[in-house]
Amino acid sequence: MEKQEQIYRAALALFAQYGFHGTPTSRIAQEAGVSNGTLFHYFKTKEELIIALYNKIKNDISQYLSADMNPEEKFELVFKRLFIKSLYWAVDNSQAFFYIQQVHVSPHYEQVPADVIMEQTRSHRQLIERGLAEGALKPMSVELIYTLLSSQVFGVYQFLTANEQTEADQKQVIQQAADLVWHMLKA
């Protein structure tokens, strides 16, 4: 599956830069070093590629983040670390993170089945449920907490990509944002 991987990589780079509309499938194939026909051998339609790429990235993030959700540790610690790791992933995989947002505000997002979305957010939800059960988080709906947490990640990501700064400053902003969001959501 070497070629498929190349197609994913090329598609991500091009979609992130030019958008779905701005990148012809022919260009993706070219950039990936495969023929037009090969692309459509692996993905029946352009839409299928868009969704498959979205799911691939989501699974990557999910796997990367779920490693540290140790239930032995103090909730505050796990919570903050999750937030911080999310942001490091976002800045290190800027294209992918941006692509996810693109899909979210596009008509393609409706093509992602609800159960797939549920699966992709399961570990986060479980952590929030744990926090609620322990009385560590303010009593609010899981969805609301999840959404506020996510949007704070998006916000800080946006700030970091829009404003140049040193690695040290970046680290400090991320740490501060983690403290802020914890302060906002903790019981």
Residues 6+ apart with CB under 8 A from 141: none
Question: In the set 5, 17, 36, 161, which binds DNA (CB under 7 A)?
Answer: 36
Dihedral angle sign, alpha carbons of residues 170, 176, 177, 179: positive
Q: Does 41 bind DNA (CB under 7 A)?
A: yes
CA distance 19 to 22: 5
Question: Which ranges of the chain does DSSP label H, i.e. alpha helix?
Answer: 2-22, 25-32, 36-42, 46-66, 75-92, 94-104, 114-133, 142-162, 167-185
CA distance 177 to 35: 46
Q: Does 183 bind a copy of itself (CB under 8 A)?
A: yes
Residue whose CB is less far from a copy of itself, 42 or 154: 154
- Name which of residues 101 to 120 contact a copy of itself (CB under 8 A): 101-102, 105-107
Q: Does 152 bind a copy of itself (CB under 8 A)?
A: yes
Tokens (6 digits) for 19: 């958008």
Question: In the set 10, 14, 34, 181, which binds DNA (CB under 7 A)?
Answer: 34
Question: In the set 8, 12, 20, 39, which binds a copy of itself (CB under 8 A)?
Answer: 20
Residues, the chain:
187
The long-range contacts involving 36-39, CB below 8 angstroms and separated by at least 24 positions, are: 38/3, 38/7, 39/7
- CB of residue 26 to a copy of itself, shortest distance in Å: 16
- CB of residue 113 to DNA, shortest distance in Å: 19
Tokens (6 digits) for 184: 């906002």
Q: Does 66 bind a copy of itself (CB under 8 A)?
A: no
Of 17-25, 65-73, 75-83, 87-95, which part binds DNA (CB under 7 A)?
17-25
Tokens (6 digits) for 101: 């947002």
Residues that bind DNA (CB under 7 A): 2-3, 23-26, 33-38, 40-42, 44-47
Per CB under 8 A, residues contacting a copy of itself are: 17-22, 98, 101-102, 105-107, 138, 140-141, 143-144, 147-148, 150-152, 154-156, 158-159, 162-163, 173, 176-177, 180-181, 183-185
